[in-house]
Amino acid sequence: MASEMEKKEVFDTESAKDLVKELRASFGSGKTKSYEWRRTQLTAMLKMLDEEEPQIVAALREDLSKPELESSVYEIAMLKNSCRLALKELKHWMKPEKAKTSLVTFPSSAEIVSEPLGVVLVISAWNYPFLLSLDPVIGAIAAGNAIVLKPSEIAPASASLLAKLVATYLDSSCIKVVEGAVPETSALLEQKWDKIFYTGNGRVARVVMAAAAKHLTPVVLELGGKSPVIVDSDINLLVATRRIIAGKWACNNGQACISPDYIITTKDYASKLVDSFKNELEKFYGKNPLESKDLSHIVNSNHFVRLSKLLDEDNVSSKIVHGGERDKTNLMIAPTILLDVPQDSLIMNEEIFGPLLPIITVDKVEDSFDVINSSGTKPLSAYLFTNNKKLKEKFVATVSAGGLVVNDTTVHVAEHTLPFGGVGDSGIGAYHGKFSFDAFSHKKAVLYRGFACDAFVRYPPYTRGKLRFFQAFLGGSILGMIRAVLRWSKS
Amino acid sequence: MEESVAVAELRETFKSGRTRSVAWRKNQLRALIDLINENEDSIFKALHQDLGKHPVESYRDEVGVILKSASYTLSCLDKWVAPRKSELPWLLFPAKGEVQPEPLGVVLIFASWNFPITLALDPLIGAISAGNTVLLKPSELAPACLSFLIETIPHYLDNKAIKVVGGRVEVAERLLQLKWDKIFFTGSPRVGRLVMAAAARYLTPVTLELGAKCPAIVDILSSPFKTKVAAKRIVGGKWGPCTGQACISIDYLLVEEKFASTLIELLKKYIKRFYGENIKDLKSIARIVNKHNFQRLHNLLKDPNVAASVVYGGSVDEDKLVIEPTILLDPPLDSEIMTEEIFGPLLPIITVKKIEESIDFINSKPNPLVIYAFTEDETFKKRILSETSSGTVTFNDSMIQFLCDTLPFGGVGQSGFGRYHGKYSFDTFSHEKAVLHRGFFPELEPRYPPWTNFKLMFIKLAYKFDYLGLILLMMGLKKS
């Protein structure tokens, strides 16, 4: 324990440099490239998730008061699925992909070979501290890299547990955890990495990308944004309401990058929607939600103060139609709904990341698209509840976001055949399933040529005949090529 | 500021939705093909003026490449824009998942001077095919081509959606201060860093097509015929495209000591046959782009230890900006010619005792765009593939991988990231949007609080896709 404390205190640029050097040597040895190594690491991680579930649940309760079900499902079960999928598909993912070749390079064969990038850095976030740390690590392992994981210091019990578990279960000559805050992260960012995978907010993402630019390091940035929910009127209101609640408050009490941030619905439908929310929220969380064991708390007092400020702004506090109760000691805010806050209010201009849900009303549901697109930024997700086919089509065609879901919220994150990532301000790159493997791989193009059929037209001296041949050749015209050759032999 | 006015117009055009239509994209591609076909002679003239390229070289490396790329894209576009279906598990039934490509928005393309038509228009083809609006900034170091593009593009393409801007470094710097939805850069690692740092301010995704020293391993081949073919491909590949000023040019050779002199004789023979006996009679070969690069290359040769290693060529003509094809044998490994990317008509040959040593040598340098290897040894090929890293590996030829539309073209490490050509161009300028459609029915009660052990068990089984377990649980036959 004492030496760990020492390590924590002196992790500076020199330590970071040494760390990277050590990992480069490990990677250079070729160990991580082998199928066996990747398989044993993924298997060990699965074992770790099985055996350590109670400890993980306890750490999450300590950091976030996360209900056991959320921990078990959104952190542990999702990670186990990720491991199992990678184990099942690994051989297939590692195989080279054949590429077609054309007349232009005849005779030849081609393939695309996946190779690890090398030594990668994964910086994770505090709201799903296990999921967002280990899910990218699973991809990095599957792709054969050496890894440094920097969990968020804002969830300290989880960070500490991660460091301990990774050291115990995984190959610590190739996979390391560095705990710490801004100084440690900065020290890490000064080093040259072969890839940086960052989950968090836009402000820090800019710092990460600028640091990566110095070494021409490619990045994946999983950020956030204001994920809107459009609610049409002719729908199964009960189901829609519950699914919105499940995506908002049952996901870390709104502190998730894909949580519904705000709702857009018609003026006519708003009160029905509000009533439906009131009923279902009471069924889920009881009359005293501040005391419900089924809601996470706000992660720390900084965020509590931030969220309180959003609620206390002039012209906003009067728009609360449900909830608004706060418990500063326990860092708890009840599910809160607001109706028609001003468009220029703080709550409508920054990602809420908490249990507050503004509802904006429009005259016609089609006007929602303008509201979303006028924000000038592209969110991580966007949701639509409707039975209207044309509206669905317009939604898919005009709303740009990382991912869209029709008639549900957040479930796309569990679907490994869909790439999960943002666009514009919500991020760069994607992962989950095979996309994780690809995110941490270099796809090397390989062309095999033979010595036969050496095309003398390639070489000088250049003549008009050779020009004609090229015109036909690059145009794919066999007849043209024959003609060109015949004209030549005539002249 | 002119540039921000241009960008504002590009954004308006993108917002109007016009560039999303597949018909618009196809029209632009057809117009581009017309532009090339109707102005072939002007293009040849501009390339000759800027770089001394022969029309056949210009056709092979620039005109023909763009025509091929545009035609290929036209023939595949309908397929590429269609959403890709995703298989979803029964658990989510009824549901439909797909990945829908969409344009990123307003993109900035920086082109380099060495293939001023190809490196401007090939990325442009990708950007158009993906439905974006584009600002193209060709290099001012190829001024005749730059003028050609500035004058001709507005006559053929939609000039509210595709703009060309000239100017020097100051213009590029101003452009980088603005917000883009994607930046595509071809050039040096030094400038690549600046581009990415500028992009970081807006979290703009970038593709960087850079360079590094591309080696060619030349193993001993089983017949004189094959050896001759290899030598021709090395000579034709090194000095043919822009006299070695290409990101994928062979930078240096690695050969076994005992084979070096045979190879050198063959290289000399083909150099003379293809390009002429001496500097006064050079033909079918481009020239150095400008005085600055000429001086840079000349200086590489001025190091006395390097000069002493010249075994062929070495003559220069400063007025004509010509350096004849030059071969060096074992220049000092710490000389600049062996530490910097050459980007010119000088070819060092490094000898090793055994050809397998090439692998360590290559790994001691930054990851290149391409590794070329002339060998018939299948074990050695496998070792090269698994023990080195590069954007591409080409066996038994040079340069030709550039023409393969089904292979991704891009670097790794110092040679860059991102890729293009063929569908990869379309993808590079697209956002792949995940879309999940669900029905309202059936409903899974255990999704919702208040939480109970039953619900926990249910969700755990659901996540494992343990449908049997779920049925048993619901029938009360499994303990929760």
pLDDT in tens, A341-379: 999 999 999 999 999 999 999 999 999 999 999 888 999
- CB contacts, 8 Å: A428 with chain B: 203, 205
CB B122 within 8 A of CB B425: yes
Name the burial class of residue B313, with classes exposed (0-12), middle (13-18) and buried (19+) by CB atoms within 10 angstroms of its CB: buried
CB spacing of A447 vs B397 below 8 angstroms? yes
Q: CB distance from B179 to chain A under 8 Å?
A: no
Q: Where are the beta strands (DSSP E) in B187-233?
A: 206-209, 215-218
Q: Give the closest of A115, A387, A467 to B55, CB-based.
A: A467
- With b for 16 or more beta-carbon neighbours within 10 A and e for fewer, the B19-52 pattern comes to bbeeebbbebbebbbebbeebbeebbbbbbebbb
| Residues of chain A by 3-state class (helix, strand, coil), percent to 5 | 50, 15, 35
Nearest CA in chain A to B180: A424
Nearest CA in chain B to A419: B434
The predicted model gives A270-294 an average pLDDT of 96
The predicted model gives B439-458 an average pLDDT of 85
Q: CB distance from A374 to chain B under 8 Å?
A: no
- A4 or A463, which is more confident: A463
**C-alpha B103: how far from chain center:** 20
Q: Name residues 291-350 of chain A within 8 A of B (Cβ).
A: 292-294
Q: Where are the beta strands (DSSP E) in A126-169?
A: 146-150
The predicted model gives A195-215 an average pLDDT of 98
Q: CB distance from B64 to chain A under 8 Å?
A: yes
Helix then strand count (H, E) for chain B reads 19, 18
CB B150 within 8 A of CB B162: no
pLDDT in tens, A377-403: 999 999 999 999 999 999 999 999 999
- CB contacts, 8 Å: B43 with chain A: none
pTM of the model: 0.95
Query: In angstroms, what CA-CA distances link A34 with A30, A41, A43, A480, B168?
Result: 7, 11, 14, 49, 48
Specify the pLDDT at position B222: 95
Nearest CA in chain B to A395: B435
Specify the pLDDT at position A468: 85
CB B291 within 8 A of CB B310: no
CB A349 within 8 A of CB A371: no
- Residue with structure tokens 């001012």? B140
Amino acid at B219: D
Name the burial class of residue B351, with classes exposed (0-12), middle (13-18) and buried (19+) by CB atoms within 10 angstroms of its CB: middle
| Radius of gyration, alpha carbons of chain A | 27
- List, in order, residues 6 or more apart from B345 with CB less than 8 Å away: B238, B239, B243, B244, B285, B288, B297, B313, B323, B324, B325, B326
CB spacing of B437 vs A407 below 8 angstroms? yes
pLDDT range class, residue B347, cuts 50, 70, 90: very high
Give just the sign of the alpha carbon dihedral B162, B168, B170, B176. Answer: positive
pLDDT range class, residue B242, cuts 50, 70, 90: very high
Q: CB distance from A477 to chain B under 8 Å?
A: no
CB A446 within 8 A of CB B392: yes
Q: Is the pLDDT of residue B389 over 60?
A: yes
Specify the pLDDT at position A488: 63
Bridge-based pairing of strands B322-323 and B316-317 is antiparallel
Nearest CA in chain A to B58: A467
B9 catalytic per annotation: no
pLDDT in tens, B171-184: 999 999 999 999 99
Q: Which helix (H) or strand (E) holds A110?
A: strand A108-116
pLDDT range class, residue A475, cuts 50, 70, 90: confident
B3, B57, B62, B209: which is the annotated catalytic residue? B209
Q: CB distance from A235 to chain B under 8 Å?
A: yes
Q: Partners of A358 in the beta sheet?
A: A338
pLDDT range class, residue A469, cuts 50, 70, 90: confident
CB spacing of B54 vs A460 below 8 angstroms? yes
Q: CB distance from A474 to chain B under 8 Å?
A: yes
Report helix, strand or coil for A89.
Answer: helix
- List, in order, residues 6 or more apart from B183 with CB less than 8 Å away: B107, B108, B109, B110, B176, B195, B199, B204, B205, B206, B207
Closest listed residue to residue A455, CA positions, set A11, A152, A105: A105
Specify the pLDDT at position B1: 61
Q: Is the pLDDT of residue B93 over 80?
A: no
- Mean model confidence pLDDT for chain A: 94
Specify the pLDDT at position B95: 86
Q: For residue B429, give both structure tokens.
A: 């300028």
Q: Is the pLDDT of residue A183 over 80?
A: yes
Q: For residue A66, give both structure tokens.
A: 């996360």
Q: CB distance from B401 to chain A under 8 Å?
A: yes
Specify the pLDDT at position A473: 80
Q: Name residues 389-408 of chain A within 8 A of B (Cβ).
A: 392, 396-398, 400-408
pLDDT range class, residue B329, cuts 50, 70, 90: very high
pLDDT range class, residue A490, cuts 50, 70, 90: low
The predicted model gives A430-446 an average pLDDT of 98
Q: Is the pLDDT of residue B207 over 90?
A: yes
**C-alpha A164: how far from chain center:** 25
| Rounded CA separation A354/A251 (Å) | 10
Specify the pLDDT at position B88: 84
Q: Is the pLDDT of residue A2 over 50?
A: no
Q: Is the pLDDT of residue A491 over 50?
A: no
Q: Is the pLDDT of residue A292 over 90?
A: yes
CA triplet B95, B85, A389: central angle to 5 degrees?
Answer: 55
CB spacing of A444 vs B409 below 8 angstroms? no
Q: Give the closest of A284, A405, A462 to B56, CB-based.
A: A462
CB spacing of A444 vs B386 below 8 angstroms? no
The CB density around residue A210, as the number of other CB atoms within 10 Å, is 16
| Rounded CA separation B41/A225 (Å) | 51
- CB contacts, 8 Å: B102 with chain A: 400
Specify the pLDDT at position B479: 66
Report the 3 state secondary structure along A241-273. HHHHHHHHCCCHHHCCCCCCCEEEEEHHHHHHH
Q: Is the pLDDT of residue A5 over 70?
A: no
| Rounded CA separation A184/A197 (Å) | 16
CB spacing of B208 vs A460 below 8 angstroms? no
Q: Give the closest of A118, A427, A444 to B390, CB-based.
A: A444
Specify the pLDDT at position A333: 97
Q: Is the pLDDT of residue A231 over 50?
A: yes
| Rounded CA separation A44/B360 (Å) | 33
Tell me the count of A-B CB pairs closer than 8 A: 298
Bridge-based pairing of strands A97-99 and A108-116 is antiparallel
| DSSP for residue B60 | I
The predicted model gives A271-292 an average pLDDT of 96
CB spacing of A402 vs B417 below 8 angstroms? no
Q: Which residues of A are catalytic?
A: 222, 257
| DSSP for residue B2 | H
| Radius of gyration, alpha carbons of chain B | 27
Specify the pLDDT at position A6: 46
Name the burial class of residue B78, with classes exposed (0-12), middle (13-18) and buried (19+) by CB atoms within 10 angstroms of its CB: exposed
